[in-house]
Amino acid sequence: MRSKLFVPGSRPEFFPKALASEADALSFDLEDAVAESRKGEARTTVGDFLASSAAHRSGKTLIVRVNPADSPHFEADLHAVVRQGLGLVNLPKVESIEQVRQARALIDVACQANQVRTPPQLLLNIESPRGLRCVLALASADPAVAGLQLGFGDLFEPLGISRSDTRAVHACMLAVRLAAAEAGVFVLDSAFTNIGDADGYLAEAQMARDLGYIGKSCIHPRQVALANQVFRPSADDIEQARRVLSAARDAAREGLAAFQIGGRMIDGPFIDRAETILAEARRHGLIGADA
């Protein structure tokens, strides 16, 4: 999921364009992008779309960001959008284990009501100081939790923290990444709201990739290509991974668990990373299945 494109749930005219985009995932938004007066309309529109043949044929990861657990829309949102083929329910402003478990219980009820054979997993938004403090507990709250995502707007703006302070951004990203690693879930980078600043988007995406994030959110279609560009192995990454694995095979024949490449000591974790890079390259069609 290199790129996740937000799509306002109240703008169905955007749905076909989003399906035709190069985004790996589409996140239909019922929360911030939808006016209060149109919440009911939007959830029905998105639910109907998710049940359509076009959605089922898309091959994209389909996500819905519902309204928060403490909102009057939460249960109705889940009942409307939990359909066969929905990959992830994105829970905003998560702060407690109870909210995660409540969502899981309501999803199970919606699966029964809507005859959904494969329940969607959960993508949790970390958007408050409490959520950040409890991030490991939230990520470990239920087996349905698949991933985490930071929401810097809600996290930083009320506290007066500058979104352009890369030190603050990096500190939060690292904390969430390490919690995700301990919980065994993925972590996805947040939105970058300055649509015209391609360089800023690329710099933040590269920071996220360097921290082991799997992809980045996109609030405009023009950001999709930028995310896809960053979150895939480069030619240099692929070549280095091949060198590591070739040297590892030679070392194994000599009974060595560690060896050097270009003066750099290589052992198990670096070998595992090289295998991951080549698997990712195969998945994106950058190298052949046998390469």
End-to-end Cα separation, the chain, in angstroms: 22
Contact at 8 Å (CB) between 56 and 36?
A: no
Question: Helices 97-114 and 74-81 meet at what angle, rounded to 10?
Answer: 40
Contacts of 274 (CB under 8 A, 6+ apart): 240, 241, 242, 244, 245, 248
Cα gap 23→211, rounded to integer Å:
21
Cα gap 249→247, rounded to integer Å:
5
Which residues of the chain fall short of a pLDDT of 70?
Answer: 291
The fold adopted by the segment(s) 3-230 is TIM Barrel (3.20.20)
Q: What is the pLDDT of residue 178?
A: 97
Residue 123 identity: L
Cα gap 91→132, rounded to integer Å:
14
Question: Please, which contacts does 75-79 make with residues 24 or more away whose CB atoms are closer than 8 Å?
Answer: 75/106, 76/40, 76/43, 77/30, 77/43, 78/103, 78/106, 78/107, 78/110, 79/106, 79/109, 79/110, 79/113, 79/114
Contact at 8 Å (CB) between 240 and 251?
A: no
Cα gap 146→280, rounded to integer Å:
19
Q: Which residue has the tokens 């694995």?
A: 245
Contact at 8 Å (CB) between 186 and 211?
A: no
Domain boundaries, the chain: 3-230, 235-283
Q: Which residue has the tokens 């991974």?
A: 241
Smallest CA-to-CA distance from 5 within 284, 15, 210 is with 15
Cα gap 272→61, rounded to integer Å:
26
pLDDT 10s digits, 28-86: 999 999 999 999 999 999 999 999 999 989 999 999 999 999 999 999 999 999 999 99
Residue 223 identity: Q
Contact at 8 Å (CB) between 87 and 62?
A: yes
Q: What is the pLDDT of residue 291?
A: 66
pLDDT 10s digits, 82-113: 999 999 999 999 999 999 999 999 999 999 99
Does this model's pTM top 0.75? My answer is yes
